Chain A
């Protein structure tokens, strides 16, 4: 039997950097250039296999607009990972990202896995944030770092794969993290998943 682990993940970052597009690329493998700004937050799930475990990502895609800023703690509370997104063509969005890192450090869950995604890497002509600067910053805070393109499906699955890798392993007794449970394949279980 596989272990099923539910992992709460939230996406944070400035408005318009492509948080929802990243989620849509990951969950549905689709892209819509005219996506509406998120209100509050959207919730989606996707299950992937990682080694001998199933990781069910419970993804909270938060709104980037300033007026929703105060709501963020509800979404990163209890999260196993946070993906902080910036737009490589907007220096300002990288500064916002640093503020999110600070906030998570002060108020976020103690062992939260942080991933930094420099989105819109297909627009490298308009680049304002150098890959090296971003990578150095990410390394300095021990965060996952990737440049992504939700539009061209670059590195999207990789972000989540790296999160899977960094999630603490459940030891043999299952006692340590306590985050997994046996995936049973009885009817009641399949019913749980179909709604």
Chain B
């Protein structure tokens, strides 16, 4: 099947450019980009000058399978992703049980393939049960399709265990994703230290805990030569360390969640638990420093850190409430805030949301190029709307953007050349 996308504002994150033009999808791939004419028998879609970009590759999505299917299933996550322009979900292994054996990995792979309209790839745990004591069968898990290894927000405190896991992973070329946070300093924290935390009487963590965790991991990466990605760097204090690590030639990248780029600690207001995240939201100065770091490319990847939580686990006093927010459907509109504020261009955004994560994982997605997979999102970056969380497709609706004015609407999503979201003529 051939699709002709006419009259689009084509976003190319590789060259960091945008231009008007047409795109031809042939089968599962992008066949041509530019001023080509519509081939015979093609399905023609007039994009009306709307933005057409590579679909989002979302590194670090929590789906509730296995264990918490009432919070999110592969089906509901896939539908939410399609509606949000996310064409590849990289699922986290912090499930119950953890995805730490080839058998569990095969199970979730099968379930995801049957249920989801978008691509779902899986990460596996680095240590068994994410307990930080014994490494998982990294080789078998790689063979079974694991794209990266992470214990998510569980920090391995035993550096001997971690150094061995990193060494072993390096020998197989596996990517290890760490959560840079000193576990001692951050124990029991619900917010970031500062005036706001003290005013609300909430236990906070000093931003230095992130740099301490990152510094430790960098020492181990230098020691073992492992490929490493920091899931979220959210404080300005950690940036010089990241810059140094890259300059020293370590195989290191870093990510940040869209929430840490668009919200700050004050948004918690009067104990609004939908704003409770891991790590906690930061000061405005930190947020701005992070936006700059994404623009410069120091921070490589923006992810959603989609973490579905049911009402019961959020309707509690702030300290006791579960942390995390859903974001698959609000990822793109939230990112448009950075675009409309003039902080980031659309190509810069899609470099961080599509190209870089795909590259880091060795995937062919994320590119606006002939021969690349036809995973695309067509969206109107300016369309305004009022977000009503009741309309979300996720089974859990713990979004911090409820009731807020947003701009940016997904019009159509294509995965492997097939339209999985949007109106059809």
**Pair from one complex:** no
Could you tell me which B residues sit within 8 Å of A by CB distance?
A: none
